[in-house]
Every structure is written in structure tokens, then in C-alpha cells.
Amino acid sequence: MAQPRRIDVRKTYKLYIGGDFPRSESGRSYVVRASNGDPLANAVRASRKDLRDAVRAARKAAQSWADKTAMNRGQVLYRVAELMEGRRDQFVAEVATAEGARESKARELVDRAIDRWVWYAGWADKIAQVLGSSNPVAAPYFNFTIPEPTGVVGIVAPETSSLLGLVSRLAPPLVAGNAVVVLASETRPLPAITLSEVLATSDVPGGVINILTGLRKELVPVLAAHVDVDSLDVWGVPPDLRTEVELLAAEDIKRISRRPAGVTDARFDWLDDRAAERPEWIAAWLEMKTVWHPIGT
């Protein structure tokens, strides 16, 4: 007797906020398609309230993450790379489908994403030594300059690079000690969703990383205008929203990290280590504090 055909167990995609996987309060979703146009899944279409909940979760987690020792942050982030390695085949399949890449190319992109996460994790206990200083002063006191995290960082992830680009923009503010709210690629969100599942089983405290899927024209202006977001990465902001985002961010003096002049998201080579692995990208999410201390007699 022939066995009945097995029906695949379809995955229900959710948001990642505060360490949990809530559905959108709006109940909305949108169709995610493969590079050839075939429907892949229904991803959650986050609402403005979902974004506000994510910012609230990030603010709640920010101080405890910033207070961890640099070495401990590096260890926690390295653990994420270990778990990504365990899901390597799943990431490869999702990147290949999303970006229309051959398996060998997708495997290279995933391997580089894991390696890049490790590269940035290694900077956690080194960046302060590079940027900080003991300043010479002609007076009976010490003068130190110390880098500190900005706070809550909003990231509009690259649209074209579903995993490697996301990792390249996500890791630097985390290494610096910030909590983040990420708007994943609108058309290629599935690797970001899988990354959120990795994060949920890692040692990263809930709320330090929050990942939303949805429409950028709806969510980007809200992220840019939110007064509890301290800094904004506008790498993946669509060209038609850039002016609006700059104006909204200026209202409460957000620090903004932009693409290099003349660089487009579609043409940036995320595999180029010299361009994508830069301690300057960590420094962009740090503020410098100067401390004066008298010399004892």
C-alpha cells in the first residue's frame, strides 16, 4: 500500500522583540518572493506600534548591555557565531533562494557573514584602547578620554544583501555596547528571521537586538522620528525616503551613519573585507567622554 504524501510543516514567521517572538498587533502579513518571483512565505508586516515596542525593549536593555565588560560582550557575540555555524546549511539555502545565487556563492556569503561576526566580536575589548587616551595636561590632574556607547541604534538593513550586509551593519553597534532595533530587508527578510532565532538561543540578553520585518515606507519614518532612538543607520533607506529621514532625524539631533559618498547599496561589495571590516564602523556608534581627576599628593 502506497504511503500518503507527506505535507511539509509550514513555518510561521514572527517578529523578534525583547527576546520574544510576537505576532504583529495588526495581524498583517505580506508575501515574500524568491528572486524568480515565486512566493516563498508570508512575513509579518510590522506596525508602528510594533516598532515602538521594539524601541522600548531596546531602551530597557541598553544600560545593562553597556555595563557588561568589553571581554564579556565579545564572548557573548562569539557565541552567536557558534550558533550561526550550526545553522549554516539553512542560511545557505535561504540566501541562495532570496538572492538568486548559486549554492557555492551562497555558501561563500554565509561563511563570510559568520567570519565577519567573529572579526567584530574580537574588537569588543580592543576598540576602547584604540580610541581612548590619556591626555597630557600642564596641571596637577589626569585627563582621560573614554569611549561610551550612544544608546539605542536604529538600523535600516541593506536591501540587497540579506545576511552578509545585515551582519556587517548589525555587529558594529553591538560591539560598541549599544542596543539595536533592526528593520530587515523588505524583499529578502528570511535570513534575518533565522538570525533572530539564533539570537534567541544565544547569550545575548533579550531586548539588546530587536528585528522587525515589514514595509520600509511605513516603518522608516517612524524609526527616524522616534525621540528615544539615539542614532540611525540609514544604509538601507530607499532614495525616495532619504530627505524625509534626514529632516525627521534632525528634529531630535540623532547621530546618522550613511553610506560612503557615491556608494549605492546594490553595487557595494560586501565580500570586500577592506571595505566592510572597519573599526571606524564601530567608532560611529561611540561617544567620547572626557574625565578629569586630581593627582593625589
Q: What CATH number was assigned to the domain covering residues 29-294?
A: 3.40.605.10
Return all residues near 125 (Cβ < 8 A) that are at least 6 apart. 69, 70, 71, 74
- The whole-number pLDDT of residue 65 equals 98
- The whole-number pLDDT of residue 1 equals 65
- The whole-number pLDDT of residue 274 equals 86
- Hey, where are the domains in the chain? 29-294
- The whole-number pLDDT of residue 207 equals 97
123-159, pLDDT tens digit by residue? Answer: 999 999 898 877 778 778 888 888 999 999 999 999 9
Distance in angstroms (rounded) separating the CA atoms of residues 169 and 158? 8
Residues of the chain with confidence (pLDDT) below 50 = none
Q: Which residues pair with 39 in a beta bridge?
A: 33
Kindly report whether the global pTM for this prediction surpasses the value 0.85.
Answer: yes
